[in-house]
Amino acid sequence: MSSRESLIESTRSLLWERGYVGTSPKAIQQRAGAGQGSMYHHFSGKEELALAAIERSAEVLREVADAQLSTEGTAYARIEAFLRRERDVLRGCPIGRLTQDPDVMATPALRAPVEETFAWLRGRLTAVLQDGLDHGEFPGTLDPSTTALAIVAVMQGGYVLARADDSPQRFEEAATGILGLLAAYRRPETE
């Protein structure tokens, strides 16, 4: 791994663990095994490096989500695969956790990839649900856009509840709850 990549990956990990304020240039350099000169050779400062790390986290999240949401099967099955995929629930969502960081949210450049990622996820889920509508899996009374928003909200809330209770089970329960509500909309012949 190049020193640039090591700096980005170290920053991704530190942002996830400590947030923006808790991620000092020194901590990044120590974790990356890179010197100050190397850091400032590749990035103008902490904000530019944090932006690269947030953009990388967003890219990874989109790739993983898209892999599950693009598989064969019903819309319900694809959403279930997405919600039930293996993840480190107690660490939380690397993008969702950034919304709780006032420094990230107050810095337009850092906030932008967070907003874009959630907009992409809502849009991707909306498309999957619309596909379910188009194929008769769900009745016309299901609103794909608001349902997608509810899925994202439950998922992010599941991370919060799991961390609060120190129990991955809370995330699983939240996923089971939203999937149960979605299943109630399904037409019996498509199950």
CATH number of residue 170's parent domain = 1.10.357.10
The burial of 119, by beta-carbon neighbours within 10 Å (0-12 exposed, 13-18 middle, 19 or more buried), is given as exposed
Q: What is the mean pLDDT of residues 81-89?
A: 95
Query: Domain for residue 27, yes or no?
Result: no
Output the CA torsion 74→79→82→84 (10° steps): -100
Query: Domain for residue 74, yes or no?
Result: yes
Query: Domain for residue 20, yes or no?
Result: no
Domain that residue 181 falls in:
57-190
Classified as helix, coil or strand, 61 is helix
Query: Are 95 and 117 spatial neighbours (Cβ–Cβ below 8 Å)?
Result: yes
Q: What is the mean pLDDT of residues 30-37?
A: 89
Confidence of residue 191 (pLDDT cuts 50, 70, 90): low
List, for residues 136-176, the tens digit of each pLDDT value.
Answer: 999 999 999 999 999 999 999 999 999 999 999 999 999 99
List, for residues 93-134, the tens digit of each pLDDT value.
Answer: 999 999 999 999 999 999 999 999 999 999 999 999 999 999
Query: Domain for residue 67, yes or no?
Result: yes
Domain tally, the chain: 1
Taking Cα atoms as reference points, which of 29, 22, 26 lies closest to residue 8?
29
Query: Domain for residue 80, yes or no?
Result: yes
Query: Domain for residue 14, yes or no?
Result: no
Query: Are 48 and 17 spatial neighbours (Cβ–Cβ below 8 Å)?
Result: no
Query: Domain for residue 148, yes or no?
Result: yes
Q: Is a pLDDT exceeding 80 seen at residue 190?
A: no
Query: Are 118 and 152 spatial neighbours (Cβ–Cβ below 8 Å)?
Result: yes
pTM higher than the cut 0.85 = yes
